Amino acid sequence: MKNEALQAINQSLESLASMVKYLDARMNALEDRVAKPVAKVRNDEKSPLIVRHSRYFDGFGGVEARGGVTYVFELNYKNRTAKVGIAVCSLKENFNKATGRKLAEDRLKTDPIVFGYSAPSYVGLVDAFWDAVTLDSASMSKDNRRIIKNIKTNYLIY
């Protein structure tokens, strides 16, 4: 009986040892894959379009169904700039993300607002935009100045 128990224990230990070797090999392979240098973004590449939405809150902590602002950003890593198109939804209309995105993308293509942006991540794009934008910017069209002024005075987002 003792021999059978010892054989079973030895067999379990051998099985465990082979499992540890297998897991060790898998871990080393994973570490090699993770340790490979990540390809750097070339300086002349542009980011994919980054979409952000600002909404209004009701008095009860919920989000209003009406009104809002959609931003579509495109970063230029070489120039350290960002272009943005903005769409404003009236407080009289239901907010629709798809419609806002389409309008903001159209404005990004036809009449973008350009500002300096060199942060390495997407966090804070909307804040960076509002910190950088000025109504007297020479690079901003009259239509964009009107939109920014409208947002600042009527919607109290920033």
Helices (H), the chain: 2-35, 97-110, 125-132, 142-150
pTM tops 0.75, yes or no: no
75 closest CA partner among 49, 113, 112? 49
The C-alpha atoms of residue 101 and residue 88 are separated, in whole angstroms, by: 10
Instruction: Give me the pLDDT at residue 106, please.
Output: 95
Instruction: Give me the pLDDT at residue 114, please.
Output: 85
Greater model confidence, 87 or 134: 87
The tens digit of pLDDT for each residue in 33-71 reads 655 544 454 545 667 888 988 887 777 878 888 888 899
Enclosing H/E stretch for 94? strand 81-94
Enclosing H/E stretch for 53? strand 50-54
Tokens of 80: 């350290």
Instruction: Give me the pLDDT at residue 107, please.
Output: 92
Q: Where are the domains of the chain?
A: 1-36, 50-155
CA-atom Rg of the chain in angstroms: 27
The label of the residue with tokens 């198109």 reads 85
On whether the CB atoms of residues 88 and 66 are closer than 8 A, the answer is no
The label of the residue with tokens 């240098």 reads 37
* Local structure of residue 61 (DSSP, 8 states): S
The tens digit of pLDDT for each residue in 2-29 reads 778 778 777 877 777 777 777 777 777 7
Instruction: Give me the pLDDT at residue 102, please.
Output: 95
The tens digit of pLDDT for each residue in 95-140 reads 999 999 999 999 999 989 888 876 655 457 777 777 777 655 656 7
The label of the residue with tokens 């579509």 reads 72
The C-alpha atoms of residue 13 and residue 21 are separated, in whole angstroms, by: 12
Tokens of 138: 């020479």
Instruction: Give me the pLDDT at residue 120, please.
Output: 54
Instruction: Give me the pLDDT at residue 158, please.
Output: 44
Instruction: Give me the pLDDT at residue 38, please.
Output: 46
